[in-house]
A = this chain, B = another copy of it.
Amino acid sequence: MKFDIIQTTPLYNALSEVGKKIYLPEGIFYWAGRAKKEAELIGTLGSAYGFEKDFIEGGNSDWLPCYLKEIANYSQFSVKEIIPYTSIGGLNEIRKVWKDWIIKKSLYGEEDESLLSRLTKYITMPVITGGVTNGIFQGCVMFLNQNDYIIMPNKRWGNYDNIINKFIRAKTRTFEFFNNSEMNINGIETAINEVAKIQDKVVILLNFPNNPTGYVPKKEEASNLIKMLKESQRTLEKPIIVLIDDAYEPYIYNNTVINKSIFYDLHQLDENIIPIKLDGITKELLIYGGRIGFITLGLKPSWVENEEELEKLKDEINNKLEGFIRATISNCNSFYQVVVNKLFQENSMEQIIKSRDKVKKLLKERYESINFELKKIKDPDISIDPNSGGFFVFVNLNPDKIKATVFADHLLNKYKVGIIPVEKLDENINGIRIAYCSIDLSKIPELVKRIDLALNDF
């Protein structure tokens, strides 16, 4: 592969050294592919195959991947489905289904014809990653060299730091997430301007609904964010990569906030604000242990002259992403890919959403209850971060009065309530994350009551 087209795009300039260098050598796949089509005798396939009767007592004459008889009954799927490798980028059927799912999630209807058409045409075919984490890992490695800066809110998933600081040894330029209970867009803007002074690209990592706060931007906040990004990109003339961690995407419980990923609006911009969607079945389809995620890039019409170039560009990006998967995990597990495939084959998207809505309803009730109960606490030393979705709420504690870890220890010892304290004073964080996703509605008032009692002890 020549990577002719990608090299002409602003995407290429933003790639890290790994991103520039990685690709999937096609030799072995080229020959195996040709053999499949042209050969009578195939000696390319590196998995053991045989006639079932030759390795299973009572087996039949099917030519199958050799398997141990003991595991045949562990699933409803055939050994042909759960034993072999899937292709590197994932089962093609699921990749297509997930692209349709992304389009569905856009909520664009016929009245948004031009939006829908750009979305359908200019996003890449999702590549399957080993869970959302692996997608975030891939996104970060593809765009960050050692010592490069990435912009993130101070309140973020702790694992970002493992990936970015410890693994890549890149640097974080964090911004205070909130300013008067609204997203601190000025803070992001300042960070962008600073980073753009020392780098030829700006990389931002955002996550709505946010972990640990449950924050989702109000419609106006989102449109201000987008406006700011648009203007910044025009002024700075450097590509802005926005990695969008959409792990909690569907769990939004409030009508005043945006009801879909910011991926969609960013993708519609003509400016070189390049959104990369990182989502997966983990929370979205409630299959945590499945380790199936997706990485999808939003491309810009201005990058290509015609359809042919667009298809080439997609192939080149796909090759790089598959090269990354090949070098790190080879491919993703078969069982859960088949699960997703059957799920979408056997049910309409509406039916899947309907099933999930039962869980969403449960979570929404808990969300309402915990916010209601927390608001009752009249204590000037605490504040609750704005939250409208996801699995968590975050309660800030006054660091001059109560250190979060001390509070957590006391709450656990005296009141038998377990929460996660986050105490990162250098980033102005001192508070507790409450995972209401795993607390029954009936227990929430008691839980908050005990937190209130614990607060009174300080």
Q: Which residues of A contact B (CB under 8 A)?
A: 17-18, 21-25, 27-28, 31-32, 34-36, 38-51, 54-56, 63, 65-71, 73-77, 82-86, 130-134, 137, 158-159, 161-163, 165-167, 169, 211, 283, 285-291, 323-324, 326-336, 338-339, 342-343, 346-347, 351-352, 355-356, 358-359, 362-363, 391-392, 408, 412-413, 416-422, 434-440, 443, 446-447, 450
Contact = CB atoms under 8 A, between A and B. Distances in A.
Contact of A18 (B169, B288, B391): B169
A288 B440 CA distance: 40
Contact of A41 (B21, B48, B447): B447
A180 B155 CA distance: 62
Contacts of A131: 329-331
B23 A83 contact: no
Contacts of A338: 74
A41 B56 CA distance: 50
A450 B40 CA distance: 11
A421 to B, nearest CB: 7
Contacts of A21: 165-166, 169
Given A31-B421, A68-B343, A291-B332, 20 more contacts: A28-B420, A31-B408, A31-B420, A39-B412, A39-B416, A46-B392, A46-B435, A48-B283, A49-B437, A54-B358, A55-B358, A67-B287, A70-B346, A70-B355, A74-B338, A130-B291, A133-B327, A137-B328, A159-B327, A167-B328
Given A49-B437, A167-B22, A435-B45, A291 B74 contact: no
Given A86-B289, A418-B32, A70 B352 contact: yes
B71 A74 contact: no
A294 to B, nearest CB: 14
A455 to B, nearest CB: 15
